[in-house]
Amino acid sequence: MSTTNLEPKVLEVLKDKIQLIHADEGAIYLVGPIKLPVELDGETVIFQWYCWLNRCKVTENYEEIIDQLSSARLAEYQQSSVLVYGDFKNADEALVRMHSICHTGDIFGSKKCDCGFQLKKSMKNIVEHGTGALFYLANHEGRGIGLFSKAMAYVLQENGYDTVEANIGLGFVDDSRNYGDAIKVLETLRTKPVTLMTNNPKKIEALKSAGLVLSGREPMWGGKTEFNENYLKTKIQRSGHIGETK
Ligand SMILES: Nc1nc2c(ncn2[C@@H]2O[C@H](COP(=O)(O)OP(=O)(O)OP(=O)(O)O)[C@@H](O)[C@H]2O)c(=O)[nH]1
């Protein structure tokens, strides 16, 4: 029995655009595709955009989920999303980027890291390649420590700590990112192998151990500045990222 106050038309419009994905705990509700025209190098590129929400409640009665949105204070929490390009479901080859949110690099264009460069580069690679998906992972800020802690880590880094030492100094592990939900969404959108754009072997491992088949890896080096030289070196020397020449 429904207890909702939703207008029937709202549900009618939305119901075919929502999918339930069973998660390890609760459910992921995926909404999309939504046509998203994006400016890329002066051109307008049409992506298909999906966004997802985790809920404890597992139901295909989407009315219940929609009905709770207005009181769920979702703007207080980030939600992750994925930009899809081309025939992602069926194409033989597809590029995938699992991009960890970086408020400073992606939004402000900070040169202390290479995140902004990697974000744009992965979108361009996908479009050039013809098919792919860019996952924008909103609970990954600061390799999983959150924005406020990342600000503190930056203060430590201004005082001699490297990026790994700063996380550890604040009581975190170096990298606590989890790719589980993104992998579940990826599996919903495509079952064929993908090429992962990354220098990070932990991302490759996360996908492989979830049973995904990778057809390759596309390196993501670039965006070097006078401000991020040590940061990029530390990624290779301490975090295990695969260097340019390997
Ligand atoms: N804690 C912390 N996080 C940072 C710092 N600089 C960037 N980040 C975060 O690091 C994440 C990106 O991780 P990276 O190690 O740069 O790259 P990666 O995603 O592991 O690997 P690639 O796929 O090769 O890019 C983003 O969530 C950023 O917010 C920093 O100095 N300290």
Contact 241, 223 (CB under 8 A): no
What distance in angstroms lies between residue 209's CA and the mean position of ligand 1's atoms?
Answer: 21
Q: Which CATH superfamily is domain 8-69+78-140+177-237 in?
A: GTP cyclohydrolase II (3.40.50.10990)
Structure tokens at 3: 């207890």
Confidence of residue 246 (pLDDT cuts 50, 70, 90): very low
Ranges of each domain in the chain: 8-69+78-140+177-237
Could you say which of 177, 181, 217, 238 is catalytic?
Answer: 177
Confidence of residue 240 (pLDDT cuts 50, 70, 90): confident
pLDDT, one tens digit per residue, over 103-118 is 999 999 999 999 999 9
Say if residue 7's pLDDT is above 50. Answer: yes
CA distance 220 to 172: 26
Say if residue 238's pLDDT is above 60. Answer: yes
Residues 6+ apart with CB under 8 A from 175: 143, 144, 167, 202, 239
If you average pLDDT over every residue of the chain, what do you get?
93
What distance in angstroms lies between residue 43's CA and the mean position of ligand 1's atoms?
Answer: 28
Peptide bond into 37 cis (omega under 30): no
Section 107-134 average pLDDT: 97
- Going by their DSSP bridges, the two strands 81-85 and 43-55 should be labelled as antiparallel
Could you say which of 67, 162, 175, 217 is catalytic?
Answer: 175
Section 160-184 average pLDDT: 95
What distance in angstroms lies between residue 168's CA and the mean position of ligand 1's atoms?
Answer: 15
- Residue 161 DSSP SS3: coil
Per cent of the chain over pLDDT 90 is 85
Contact 36, 83 (CB under 8 A): yes
Which atom of ligand 1 is nearest the CA belonging to 235?
15
Report ipTM (2 d.p.).
0.96
- Give φ, ψ of 197 to 5 degrees: -90, 105
According to DSSP H, which parts of 140-218 are helical?
A: 141-144, 147-157, 163-169, 180-189, 201-209
